[in-house]
Chain A
């Protein structure tokens, strides 16, 4: 079983993964020890830099008694000599029990799945999918709000290029959450993606007025607006300033508003927000560990 795209999962299957992840929490925190994946080896292939995803997969494997081998940049490996991904995968497949892949090309994880006999977990393929991030985001929402569907989720930032928000909004639509997208005009959600979400029965709203959207939000999901997307630095400054989350913006927000961010953040959320009960982004980063533990244990057959 490979984990390539969130689209491969039904709502029930996602709920099940989140249930298993819930059960992993004491081990993820280090309060309990586990030998569930004792003797198992994870092949961790990161063709692009990553901090949270790579470390949390490492932590997940270690917490379950398994080990990790691999690389975190292709320099110095046979990849730099021009080896195809297919060949690298076939080689790593022989060395380990499960493969985690991050790659700059879209569809790389699906390809890896075709060549590997061992399960492949997609840790992000270019502008494509990042299903384990979506799972941990859903886990965080469920943990914080008690449910996923029925929440009003406002997603703000770079909605055009951000792969995280594409997968997440699809999953949220599947769960029946109400969606509002807030982005500068040049970084709005792509039409094709909007159509896909609407085909699932969702009626997402689009807005450029963050302050208005936040008033009614249960969850505010913030993503980084990348400077390099703007040819004019002055335009970037204007946009970045308009979408900064600070205490002033939150004064009319619901008292139990949950604020999330896939991190790393730059200036999107002011540090003063960190101390408020709204801030869940560090907990969200931690949740990568139990969710990835659950997925590793499930694909390796240690948990049903």
Chain B
């Protein structure tokens, strides 16, 4: 009998092809904390045909909202989302990096006005998608260190 390291889930979301090492950041993005009532499985450093190694996160009884998907796209642009309903893959898609990033990342420039106590959401224009570089709409600073600044 084949041994499963992690069993299939009935309902929920499988985030596959996460850039290796980013699984814990994905957990932070989807807000897995003490108050979660269902099972969350994390696989790190799994062999991958595409990228050599990858991470996988499985969240039972949860589907992700668009802002969560945007955040995942920023830290792992090749991640695929599998929405599972009754053990079947109901939807499958690769995350997409939006053209404009609003309110999901802070500016890496400590001198930027958006890092002060002002009532604005940080906003970025995507300059390049591979690798992802973002330019702050306010201070023009270009950020490549995305995972450190995703909120």
Contact = CB atoms under 8 A, between A and B. Distances in A.
Contacts of A103: 113
A105 interface: yes
A91 interface: no
B118 A106 contact: no
B150 interface: no
Nearest to A106: B139
B117 interface: yes
A111 B138 contact: yes
Given A105-B111, A107-B112, A192 B142 contact: yes
B137 interface: yes
Given A105-B113, A106-B113, A111-B113, A129 B119 contact: no
A106 B119 contact: no
A109 B19 CA distance: 37
Contacts of A107: 107, 112-114, 136-140
Interface string B87-122: 000000000000000000001010111101111100
B139 A84 contact: no
A125 B111 CA distance: 10
A84 B117 contact: yes
Interface string A259-297: 000000000000000000000000000000000000000
Most buried by B among A103, A111, A125: A111
Interface size class of A (residues with CB under 8 A): 20 to 34
Given A107-B136, A107-B138, A111-B138, A127 B120 contact: no
A108 interface: yes
A85 B116 CA distance: 10
Interface residues of B, number: 18
B141 interface: yes
A148 B107 CA distance: 35
A114 B120 contact: yes
A84 to B, nearest CB: 5
A127 B120 CA distance: 20
A157 interface: no
Contacts of B139: 105-107, 110, 125-126, 128
Contacts of B141: 106
A86 B119 contact: yes
Interface in B16-32: none
Given A5-B140, A128-B139, A129-B140, A111 B120 contact: yes
A127 B111 contact: yes
A111 B111 contact: no
B19 to A, nearest CB: 24
Interface in A189-241: 192
Given A110-B137, A126-B111, A127-B111, A105 B116 contact: yes
Nearest to A84: B118
Nearest first, the 7 closest Cβ-Cβ pairs linking A and B are A107-B138, A107-B139, A106-B139, A105-B113, A107-B113, A110-B138, A108-B113
Interface of A: 5, 7, 84-86, 103-108, 110-111, 114, 125-129, 192
Interface of B: 107, 109, 111-114, 116-120, 136-142
Given A105-B113, A105-B116, A107-B140, 17 more contacts: A5-B140, A7-B140, A85-B113, A85-B118, A86-B119, A86-B120, A106-B112, A106-B138, A106-B140, A107-B112, A107-B113, A107-B138, A107-B139, A111-B113, A111-B120, A128-B140, A129-B140
7 contacts: A84-B118, A86-B118, A107-B138, A111-B113, A111-B120, A126-B111, A128-B140
